[in-house]
Amino acid sequence: MQTAGGVSACLPIHSDMDLVWVRQHVRQAAAQLGFGLVEQTKLVTAASELARNTLVHGGGGQMECAPLEGRSPGLRLTFSDDGPGIADLDQALRDGYTSGDGLGMGLGGARRLVHDFSVDSRPGAGTTVTVAVWKSGAPRPREER
């Protein structure tokens, strides 16, 4: 229901069907903000990877989607779960490392697909991954932070 219109939303991630919902919402939100096709596809793919991590490794959680103000429109996605957390973040970000049976490209790949990427995780305290993307043409507003 929250998918209809609007960029801001908080979507649950508890099943494969929810992943479809997340992807569709992110695609719609990105299209609404005027993202190009390549940017949309990259963001949706990153969201898909992170949402799946939330589901598979975090045992389910949620995604928050919010628009970003700036010189050009942007989108911030926050994936959070109350799962076991990530013990070694550097290892988790390394391509090819997986604690499951995937390719081990999800977290590192998602980082390459977005402009801003941060992970907040401690063992036993859940994981929150926040990514931000701005519409192309804009400089990465890292200096604002």
Partner 1 sequence: MPEREAAGNQQTPEHAVGDFLLRRREQIAQRWADAALFRTVFTVSRDEAVEAGRAVAEALAAAAAAGRVEDPEANAFAVVREQLSRTAASRSRAGSTIAQISAEVDALRPPVTDLLRADLADASAERVLECTTALTVLMGTLRLVVLETVMSAGQELIDRQRLQLLEVATPVIKLWEGIVAVPLIGTLDSARSQVVMETLLDSVVEQHARFAILDITGVPTVDSLVAQHLMKTVAAARLMGAECIVSGIRPAIAQTIVHLGIDLGSVLTRASLADALAYALQQQGADIVSAVPSPASHR
The binding site for partner 1 (CB under 8 A) comprises 16, 19-20, 23, 27, 37-38, 40-42, 44-45, 48-49, 52, 95, 102-103, 105-106, 108-110, 112-113
CB of 68 to partner 1, least distance (A): 21
- How many Å separate Cα 63 from the centre of its chain? 8
CB of 113 to partner 1, least distance (A): 5
Handedness of CA 98, 81, 62, 130 (dihedral sign): negative
- Minimum CB distance to partner 1, residue 94 (Å): 11
For residues 7 and 113, which CB has a smaller minimum distance to partner 1 in the complex?
113
| Shortest CB 63 distance to partner 1, Å | 15
Detail the DSSP E strand segments found in 1-145: 9-13, 61-68, 74-81, 116-121, 127-134
By beta-carbon proximity to partner 1, the closer residue of 84 and 108 is: 108
Within 68-139, where are the H helices?
89-93, 106-113
Cα end-to-end span (Å), the chain: 34
Q: Coil, helix or strand for 8?
A: coil
| Closer to partner 1 by Cβ: residue 71 or 94 | 94
Nearer to partner 1, 101 or 144 (CB): 101
